[in-house]
Chain A
Amino acid sequence: MIRRITALGRQGCELLEALGRSGLFLAQSAVGRPSREGLFLWLRQMHFVGVLSLAIVLVSGLFIGMVLALQGYTILVDFGAEQALGQMVALSLLRELAPVVAALLFAGRAGSALTAEIGLMKATEQLTSMEMIGVDPLRRVVAPRLWAGFVSLPILTVGFSVVGIYGGFLVGVEWLGVFDGSYWGNMQASVDFIGDVGNGMLKSLVFALVVTWIAVFQGYDLIPTSEGISRATTRTVVYSSLAVLGLDFVLTAVMFGGLS
């Protein structure tokens, strides 16, 4: 009995230690004077993390918008309210689906790759050798990846929303025959730029920070074996998905639930 309580306490301490380590890690790598060299490294990571994720995010956005319009139409048409299709598609994309789904895709596509890359660097002792020659691996390896993720996920989310709304337009207006004036008009009447677009972007910024932080920290903190790398990659995807979904509920409750 006492042994079990001790084990529980040890796990609690380890959890707290890991949290503290990751907080210190974030502060040390994200804060600092940007240099020309750092800018170039950041650019390379933007290309990998952002530009190359564009395809999967945009294609998913298109299909999600199209499905939303199709499902929404079949329900709304029963009430003779298919004119409200535009606002339904736009609000559900801007407030919930675009930030969450883009963050989940980003965790799977870019987060896991970041963990594996940094993990392999650690396993082959590249990070230690950097320290030996006087280069700070936090600044050189971690910071550009952190900032690239932080900047690119909100851009990907904007792309997701735009393409999704266009997909809804294709299905709702071009195919199912909703009047296009009411599609855009009702959307413009009900979407508030600060309240809906702005809060969606805020959510996306929070998710970007959390997902890249988890990915980079898991890579930096793993046990440097092949098994450790595979475990850490799995943990990145699991933890970031759970964190995104949980935080989404909290943020929605604060932003749209009238809690304030």
Chain B
Amino acid sequence: MKRSKTMELGVGLFMLAGILGLVFLGLRVSGLSLSAPSDTFTVQANFANIGGLKPRARVTMAGVNVGRVSAIELDTDWYDARVTMELNADLEGRLSRDTTAAILTAGLLGEQYIGLSVGGDPETLSDGDTLTDTQSALVLEELIQQFVSNMVSN
């Protein structure tokens, strides 16, 4: 069993390289940040049509990421889509009660996300509140149908 020290060193370096590689994959490739998952508060909104919105989609305000969609379900009282969003906790108490939510599309064919725009109400949103002023997703087929029926009636 000669040169076992060199061998041990080799194996140690090998395993270290594996761990470093995993860290690289985590930080550089999948963009994990080392900070703990930040606190969030949830807000809900009802949309008449969510188009292609998916859970984990972005929620933005003025283009800046402020949270993500955590759940989408059918609201059987109104038969529309009930979307639950998790927003960063530092926004709690800063968003006015009449904040509007719209489902937007990144680019012409890109993924769909929620854009919030702030209102003017002095009262603010807190955990579990529901946004009332919402704008549904733009569905291309409906748009074309409208366009065609306008053409026909003209």
Q: Which residues of A contact B (CB under 8 A)?
A: 40, 43-44, 46-47, 50-51, 54, 90, 94, 151-152, 154-156, 158-159, 161-162, 165, 184, 187-189, 191-193, 196-197, 201
Complex Cα–Cα for A156 and B22 (A) = 11
Quick check: A47 and B7 within 8 Å, CB to CB? yes
Q: Closest chain B residue to A148 by CB distance?
A: B11
Residues from chain B with a CB closer than 8 A to the CB of A188 are 28-31
Quick check: A159 and B17 within 8 Å, CB to CB? yes
With beta carbons under 8 angstroms apart, the residue of B10, B24, B29 that contacts A51 is B10
User: What does DSSP make chain A's interface, helix, strand, loop or mixed?
Assistant: helix
Residues from chain B with a CB closer than 8 A to the CB of A44 are 7
Contacts of B8-34 to chain A: CB distance below 8 A: 8, 10-11, 13-15, 17-18, 21-22, 24-26, 28-32
Q: Closest chain B residue to A48 by CB distance?
A: B7
Interface status of B4 (Cβ within 8 A of chain A): yes
Most chain B beta-carbon contacts within 10 A, residue among A43, A152, A161, A162: A162
How far does the Cβ of A190 sit from chain B's closest Cβ, in whole Å?
A: 9
Residues from chain B with a CB closer than 8 A to the CB of A46 are 11, 14-15
Q: Which residues of B contact A (CB under 8 A)?
A: 1, 4, 7-8, 10-11, 13-15, 17-18, 21-22, 24-26, 28-32
Quick check: A47 and B11 within 8 Å, CB to CB? yes
Residues from chain A with a CB closer than 8 A to the CB of B30 are 188, 191-193, 196-197
Question: Can you identify 10 A-B contacts, CB atoms within 8 angstroms?
Answer: A46-B15, A50-B11, A50-B14, A155-B21, A159-B18, A162-B21, A165-B29, A187-B29, A192-B30, A196-B30
Residues from chain A with a CB closer than 8 A to the CB of B28 are 184, 188
Quick check: B21 and A161 within 8 Å, CB to CB? yes
Complex Cα–Cα for A152 and B14 (A) = 9
How far does the Cβ of A53 sit from chain B's closest Cβ, in whole Å?
A: 10
Q: Closest chain A residue to B6 by CB distance?
A: A47
Residues from chain A with a CB closer than 8 A to the CB of B15 are 46, 151, 155
How far does the Cβ of A47 sit from chain B's closest Cβ, in whole Å?
A: 5
Quick check: A197 and B25 within 8 Å, CB to CB? yes
Given A44-B7, A161-B25, A162-B24, 8 extra CB contacts under 8 A = A46-B15, A47-B10, A51-B11, A154-B18, A155-B14, A162-B25, A188-B28, A191-B29
Residues from chain B with a CB closer than 8 A to the CB of A201 are 22
With beta carbons under 8 angstroms apart, the residue of A54, A94, A152 that contacts B25 is A94
How far does the Cβ of A73 sit from chain B's closest Cβ, in whole Å?
A: 19
